[in-house]
A and B are shown apart, each in its own frame.
Chain A
Amino acid sequence: DAEITQSPRHKITETGRQVTLACHQTWNHNNMFWYRQDLGHGLRLIHYSYGVQDTNKGEVSDGYSVSRSNTEDLPLTLESAASSQTSVYFCASSEGGRETQYFGPGTRLLVL
């Protein structure tokens, strides 16, 4: 069955290190999204992509980058991890022209 996966599921890193979170979907969806979820803030959009080579900034994009080299993957990179980036990160995808999003299981990131 088609699915969306994230890896790692849990990550501990140190301040200043570069970290990459993987997101892979097998639905062949054009649209992919990264959100972070923190207590008191709900889900906030970090970056999104509408297709290969397309990336766009969301509402909390500072300190994060993404690249889209193929349809299946949208890795999220924290260039220099900060304690404020400790959070749960969710990846999602949707079919082009449709707004129903399918979410991955999440990655819990702790920055020490």
Chain B
Amino acid sequence: DAKTTQPPSMDCAEGRAANLPCNHSTISGNEYVYWYRQIHSQGPQYIIHGLKNNETNEMASLIITEDRKSSTLILPHATLRDTAVYYCIVRDRGSTLGRLYFGRGTQLTVWP
């Protein structure tokens, strides 16, 4: 069952910021928002996660709205190597620890 909604595709110019939205209107108080990406023919790669505060690491920033019903992953300076499918995942409160449910994700294409 889909817990998140993402646009199927987006594009971005190289060097510009890529802002990938995700809606998770049914998120509960203890659920984290995770972002993974999958470059073609590779395994998914963890990017970042957060609960309610904004988070930043060497790969990206995660902005979560105050009501936690949506979030945005920001790649500050997109490169061609950032072309991938990006998955926004909310950990199912009913699932056992560690299980992740991947939806369809957003295909991000970075063009020169």
A interface vs B, CB < 8 Å? 31, 33, 35, 42-45, 48, 50, 56, 58, 90, 92, 94, 97, 99-106
Contacts and interface: CB of A to CB of B under 8 A. Distances in A.
Interface stretch (B15-23, B64-72, B76-84, B100-108): B100-108
B103 A101 contact: no
B35 to A, nearest CB: 11
A31 B98 CA distance: 8
Interface residues of B, number: 20
Given A33-B99, A101-B98, A105-B42, 14 more contacts: A42-B102, A42-B104, A45-B99, A50-B97, A58-B99, A92-B43, A97-B97, A99-B97, A101-B100, A102-B46, A103-B43, A104-B43, A105-B43, A106-B42
B41 to A, nearest CB: 7
7 contacts: A42-B105, A45-B100, A90-B43, A99-B97, A99-B100, A101-B98, A106-B42
Nearest to B102: A43
Contacts of A105: 42-43
Contacts, number: 53
Per DSSP, chain B at the interface is loop
Per DSSP, chain A at the interface is strand
Contacts of B32: 99
A48 B99 contact: yes
Contact of A99 (B43, B45, B91, B105): B91
B55 to A, nearest CB: 13
